Amino acid sequence: MMAQAKTASQLLKNEPLARYTSWRVGGKADQLFIADSVEDLQAFLHTLPVGEPIYFIGLGSNLLVRDGGVRGTVIVMHQALSELRMEGERVYADAGVTCGKLARFTANQAKQGAEFMAGIPGTVGGALAMNAGCYGAETWDIVDQVKTIDLAGELHVRDKAEYVATYRHVQYPKADEWFLGAWFALQAGDAKESTQKIKQLLATRLASQPLNMPSAGSTFRNPEGNYAAKLIEACGLKGYMIGGAQVSEKHANFIVNVGNASALDIELLIKHMKEQVLAQHGIELHQEVRVIGEYA
């Protein structure tokens, strides 16, 4: 739906959210604001009533929107936030830049340390919000500073030390503040070496993950000293279905939409997987996927 070229900001009422999530499910948002610039976003935030629920989303690759939709305002920023540049020795990336694009850019700049980002199917903003990671590295390992916006539309630059980043979780210094971008501190490296590393990582990902079907990446965090996929597979759940939602036969920690899944199908399948792993292995899985909205 969104063109590559800049267009005017849009405010859409009762907008179906399925087209904005990688699972391709979800009900309608009361209103959806597609920002064309930070200035438009600042102006829009000033129009919202006090107490209005606000949800910022990127590519919707780690998000389950329930079938009843979202009461309040959903804000999509990747159209406006697409800048990627060198600032001295640091790399700056807007929150709407895809993680894959950031990885390739840093490799081309002969900077090493962000190659793993090529394996994260989302934007820099989403990666910052959940401390996304893969292959032994995490987003906040390489963050130096972040740029944020608050409810009043005020912009802030915050140091890494103001946040507490743990495995797939980030504790914010202030509620109701959202990421607009980040500066990354990376080591000098070799462009060819980094590019080759990215190619190998993507080949591994393609071979092991169901990238040809709608999913939201890893459903659960890995328990300490174990792997969620291994535990789910040991429960005999590969290929298990509820409605149109299926535990991927390629990677047991992925749930795929085989064509007609509802958000409820997916949520019930998540619940079943958790229950089975707890019953058979005594381990409680914690989901990575964020769930918003109301039941139908």
Three-state secondary-structure class, residue 200: helix
Task: Please state, in angstroms and rounded to a whole number, the distance separating the CA atoms of residues 127 and 99.
Answer: 8
Told to judge if 218 belongs to the known catalytic residues of this protein, a careful annotator would answer yes
Secondary structure of 28-75 in the HEC alphabet? Answer: EEEEEEECCCHHHHHHHHCCCCCCCCEEEECCCCCEEECCCCEEEEEE
Catalytic residue among 194, 218, 248, 262: 218
Question: Rounded to whole angstroms, what are the CA distances from 145 to 49, 88, 96, 170, 182?
Answer: 30, 14, 16, 14, 6
Catalytic residue among 61, 168, 194, 267: 168
Establish whether 168 is a catalytic residue: yes
Q: Which amino acid is at 206?
A: L
Q: What is the DSSP letter of 117?
A: G
d(C-alpha 143, C-alpha 182), whole Å: 7
284 is catalytic: no
CA separation, residue 63 to residues 23, 116, 173 (Å) = 8, 21, 23
* Token duo for residue 54: 């606000």
Say how many CA atoms lie within 13 Å of 56 toward its Cβ: 27
User: What whole-number distance in Å separates Cα of residue 28 and Cα of residue 18?
Assistant: 8
- Report the DSSP beta bridge partners of residue 10: 34
Active site amino acids: 168, 218, 288
